[in-house]
Structure 1
Amino acid sequence: MATASLFAALVRGSRPRSLRVSNLRASPIAFPGSPSRSFSSVLPKSDGLSVEEEPADPEDDLRSRVFRLRLPKRSATAALDRWVGEGRTVSASELRQIAKDLRRSQRYKHALEISEWMKTHREAELSDRDYAMRIDLMTKVFGVNAAEDFFQGLPSSAKSCEACTALLHSYAAAKLTEKAEKLFERIKESSLSSSALAYNEMMTLYISVGQLDKIFPIVEELKRRKVTPDLFTYNLWISSYAAILDISVVRNILDEMAREPNSDKHWITYMRLADIYLTAGRLVDSDFSLAETDKKISQQQWITYDFLIILHASLGNSQMLNEIWKSMRSTSQKMTSRNYICIISSYLMLEQLKEAGEVIDEWRKSKAEEFDISDCDRLFEALKKAGLVDTANKFRELMLQKDCGLTSSSCC
């Protein structure tokens, strides 16, 4: 299921390849495994020529040195050894931040070398989160089997919530359903996790492999154990029902969100955007049926990405919003007015009028879907219905700038 594959990747926050395709400390869980071992043997060895030589920088620091190692074959380990050999010091917190920045820049091999250096020189200072990052980096550089071996080799005291969830994430990304389910059961049996992270990973996995019928039992289990759902939990839950066009259930979930005592401004934004989308995208019309869904299943699966856009818009994550929209446009999938309405309304909520205008231009030029001003009229009305009068007026002004005035009777 191609669209579900991208959804699974993006909801975890990673950069998508193509459509072909918690921060809680807890008691450790005991898993059988071999003694802990270092992965220094599989990381590229450093040599005297591994570090790029550059003129001295008056503002030289370790982070700059590591980031100047642009090619993966360059050794971050050698850069660290050289730094310390010059009599300089480096703290564990500084190393964590450098590794985090490298990971964000997709410099996984260098980030893993930083993690390995920390294990060798700062093992006493390692936290549960350090082990979790190590597992994630092992997966990205060497694959899930290497990450699994590393996890099994950890002492039981290090097999914490973060480490287990990181391995679960690796299993889910690789669509190893059976392994993920077994690990998930062990996590629950040990009462290791009282956060929604592990549940979210399983929901993401089931969406990616098309087993939407398994989403509701996960939600029921979460509620039974009194685990507090987060915004990602609700988005995954809603997306699973939106994919089969069970809009009445989507509405019920939104109502439940509204009653959630832990809701915040992001939840409110999400509910507003979802309501705008359901109304302006005509998903509330009675002429949609499950029989029709069966005939157009690829288009209905496409709806899940609209809710992913809504999620990141509610979180103010414009970068991920851009990533998702770019990925959707790069496919041969036919874009509909519903998709355009979703991304336009999300950009409007983030007050990114320039980007919203670019989407409008693209929509009008699109050969796949004839531009219909009535769709924009519905969006204008939905924005006002949601209490976003200023946003609605900005949208109207934007349409006028595009020489495409709205025809809604409320436009005056």
Structure 2
Amino acid sequence: MKLTRLVTVIFKNSPCFSHQNGLMGVSSYSSKTTTSSTTTTRIRKPWTWSGSMHDLYRRISPVGDPTASIVPILNQWVAEGRNVHRDQMYVFIREFRYYKRYTHALQLSMWMTDKMYFKLTSRDICLRLDLIAKVHGIEQSESYFNNIPLQLRCLEVYSALFNCYARVKSVEKAEAVLQKMRDLGLARTTLTFNVLLNLYYETGNYEKVDNVMQEMEAKGISFDKYTYTIRFNAYSSASDIEGMDKILASMECDPNVVLDWTAYASVANGYAKAGLTEKALAMLKKSEGLITTSKKRSVAYNFLLTQYAAIGKKDEVLRLWEDYQKKVKVLNQGYISLIPSLLKFDDIEKVEKIFEEWESRNLAYDIRIPNLFIGACCRKGLLAKAEALVNRVMSNGGKPDAFTWYYLATGYLQSNQTPKAVEMLKEAITACKPRWKPNRELIITCLDYLKREGDLEGAGKLIRLLRAKDIVSSDVQERLLNYMKNENSNLDALSVSFDDAVVENE
């Protein structure tokens, strides 16, 4: 797992990254009293409810198209004389944000004040700042903030705008907001400074990291595990081993800091990046020793499997897997972490046994798991085995997706079976979801093959399919069709026709 992903893992439980603190116009503010009751009890997941709000969730949750508004459904609900509960609506918003359905989350937030006349709160504003930035861009979020009444611009609201700027790595604007918070006496929380530290880390401003920590010390703002971990990662990125050792010692000696598995996993990642394998291994052992204190032990096991593999410790991967199976119910994500870890050691036989074990457990069928095995077989030229796996998927009720066919296409191309590669590429494009894009060279090779074979009709169909799936623009489509018709054009001309229009999948 990449270091930036680990930073997200260690920050995930921080309020500045929580669902409630993330987040069209302020004109929706109303001082009218709500007609709906609220509750102070702990809200459960929507699908665990019974009664009317569960029914409402079942109406709006299937609307997966972000261009389709859920507002008519909400209006119809009210027209039927049904109640709306504010706290439960927040849960809906939280769920939509979790699944990256930001447009619908924003529509819910706006509808609550525009149609139901819920009083606008700082929580609503924070949510909207975040959601507007994700749906319409940071400029629109900034414009929204500028229209917020001064009496509503509290710490949480400034923090939400600050987080928006930090997320898009707008250093100068984030610094300006923080300075305003300083001037108002609001910038005194560890979380706020951790966000700034992380911004400087992610943008390579390592020299500013120490200045922030010095300011925190001067103001009596305590460090926490996130503060230390970000500083450690900055030292790691600068290959400052002495600094890494120093910050680790400070972190372990600070009586106010309770370390968990994520902190040591991040430290291990830093040492591994610096080539200090044995130190990385020692930190992974410490991290592993703290798994029992984690509420999400499976997440810890999944991550540490990949980390032991990253430093080349196959025996540790297998040992941890055995421990994992004994102590936690292993679900699909466990296999998704284990199989790539074993593939780092080219252990196809072990992967096959793990795959068969997964099949025997009858978990929810996740096509990503056989795809991992199919992709490995294709890369190694084991096409007969890959084909057998695809047949096995379908016989077991699974449905191949774009990646299944894509892996076969690349495997066939690698083994000089271009006609089969062309057919598999067509299958992959047909099955693909929005924003999926195949390898650029694969497309070029297949189109060049079709032209050399004189199959202009087949090439035209493939090009039109690329356009229909928004993989290439209409302009690129025309250039490709012209290439096919021009007898004198060559492979270089075909490559130029793309002009970086296709982005390879990882």
TM-score, normalised relative to structure 1: 0.60
Matching of residue 85 in structure 1 with residue 75 in structure 2: no
Aligned-pair distance for 1:122?
Answer: 5.2
Letter in 2 for 1:269: W
Q: Where in structure 2 are the equivalents of 1:289-308 lying within 5 Å?
A: none
User: Counterpart of 1:179?
Assistant: 173
In structure 2, how many angstroms separate the alpha carbons of the residues matched to 1:116 and 1:135? Answer: 12
2:128 partner SS = helix
User: Does the 8 A contact of 1:108 with 1:141 survive in 2?
Assistant: yes
Aligned-pair distance for 1:350?
Answer: 9.1
In structure 1, how many angstroms separate the alpha carbons of the residues matched to 2:245 and 2:262? Answer: 13
Letter in 1 for 2:212: I
User: Does the 8 A contact of 2:193 with 2:212 survive in 1?
Assistant: yes
Matching of residue 221 in structure 1 with residue 194 in structure 2: no
User: Counterpart of 1:203?
Assistant: 197
Residues 316-337 of structure 1: CA distance to partner in whole angstroms, max 9, x if unpaired? Answer: 48669969999x9xxxxxx994
In structure 2, how many angstroms separate the alpha carbons of the residues matched to 1:144 and 1:132? Answer: 14
User: Counterpart of 2:27?
Assistant: 37
Residue 114 (structure 1) aligned to one of 100, 105, 108 = 108
Matching of residue 364 in structure 1 with residue 345 in structure 2: yes
Residues 24-47 of structure 1: CA distance to partner in whole angstroms, max 9, x if unpaired? Answer: xxxxxxxxxxx94359xxxxxxxx
User: Counterpart of 2:66?
Assistant: 72
1:90 partner SS = coil
In structure 2, how many angstroms separate the alpha carbons of the residues matched to 1:38 and 1:95? Answer: 17
User: Counterpart of 1:53?
Assistant: none
Aligned-pair distance for 1:106?
Answer: 0.6
CA 125–165 in structure 1, closer or farther in 2 if over 3 Å, else same = same
Letter in 1 for 2:228: Y
Matching of residue 194 in structure 1 with residue 175 in structure 2: no
Residue 227 (structure 2) aligned to one of 229, 233, 253 = 233
In structure 1, how many angstroms separate the alpha carbons of the residues matched to 2:217 and 2:116? Answer: 40
Matching of residue 338 in structure 1 with residue 319 in structure 2: no
In structure 1, how many angstroms separate the alpha carbons of the residues matched to 2:154 and 2:234? Answer: 30
In structure 2, how many angstroms separate the alpha carbons of the residues matched to 1:324 and 1:74? Answer: 40
CA 274–209 in structure 1, closer or farther in 2 if over 3 Å, else same = closer
1:61 partner SS = helix
CA 216–69 in structure 1, closer or farther in 2 if over 3 Å, else same = same
Aligned-pair distance for 1:147?
Answer: 0.5
1:365 partner SS = coil
User: Counterpart of 1:168?
Assistant: 162
TM-score, normalised relative to structure 2: 0.50
Aligned-pair distance for 1:137?
Answer: 0.3
Identity, in percent, stands at 23
Letter in 2 for 1:231: K
Aligned-pair distance for 1:240?
Answer: 0.4
In structure 2, how many angstroms separate the alpha carbons of the residues matched to 1:95 and 1:270? Answer: 32
Aligned-pair distance for 1:198?
Answer: 1.8
User: Counterpart of 2:417?
Assistant: none
Letter in 2 for 1:248: E
Structure ranking higher in helix proportion: 2
2:58 partner SS = helix
2:148 partner SS = coil
In structure 2, how many angstroms separate the alpha carbons of the residues matched to 1:317 and 1:150? Answer: 40
In structure 2, how many angstroms separate the alpha carbons of the residues matched to 1:321 and 1:213? Answer: 34
Q: How many residues align?
A: 301
In structure 1, how many angstroms separate the alpha carbons of the residues matched to 2:346 and 2:66? Answer: 41
CA 244–279 in structure 1, closer or farther in 2 if over 3 Å, else same = closer
1:37 partner SS = helix
Aligned-pair distance for 1:261?
Answer: 3.4
User: Does the 8 A contact of 2:70 with 2:104 survive in 1?
Assistant: yes
User: Counterpart of 2:123?
Assistant: 129
What runs of 5+ residues in structure 1 fail to find an aligned partner? Answer: 15-21, 24-34, 40-56, 289-302, 329-334, 367-412
In structure 2, how many angstroms separate the alpha carbons of the residues matched to 1:216 and 1:191? Answer: 22
User: Counterpart of 1:103?
Assistant: 97
Residues 314-373 of structure 1: CA distance to partner in whole angstroms, max 9, x if unpaired? Answer: 7848669969999x9xxxxxx9943878x959976993785564354122119xxxxxxx
In structure 1, how many angstroms separate the alpha carbons of the residues matched to 2:217 and 2:137? Answer: 33
User: Counterpart of 1:48?
Assistant: none
Q: Where in structure 2 are the equivalents of 1:248-259 lying within 5 Å?
A: 248-259=242-253
User: Counterpart of 2:261?
Assistant: 269
User: Counterpart of 2:324?
Assistant: 351
In structure 2, how many angstroms separate the alpha carbons of the residues matched to 1:138 and 1:317? Answer: 34
Residues 33-65 of structure 1: CA distance to partner in whole angstroms, max 9, x if unpaired? Answer: xx94359xxxxxxxxxxxxxxxxx998611111
Tell me whether 275-284 or 355-364 shows the greater mean CA deviation.
275-284
Residues 294-333 of structure 1: CA distance to partner in whole angstroms, max 9, x if unpaired? Answer: xxxxxxxxx9xx99xx79987848669969999x9xxxxx
User: Does the 8 A contact of 1:281 with 1:338 survive in 2?
Assistant: no
User: Does the 8 A contact of 1:4 with 1:209 survive in 2?
Assistant: no
2:344 partner SS = helix
Aligned-pair distance for 1:169?
Answer: 1.6
User: Does the 8 A contact of 1:103 with 1:111 survive in 2?
Assistant: yes
Letter in 1 for 2:153: K
User: Does the 8 A contact of 1:206 with 1:214 survive in 2?
Assistant: yes
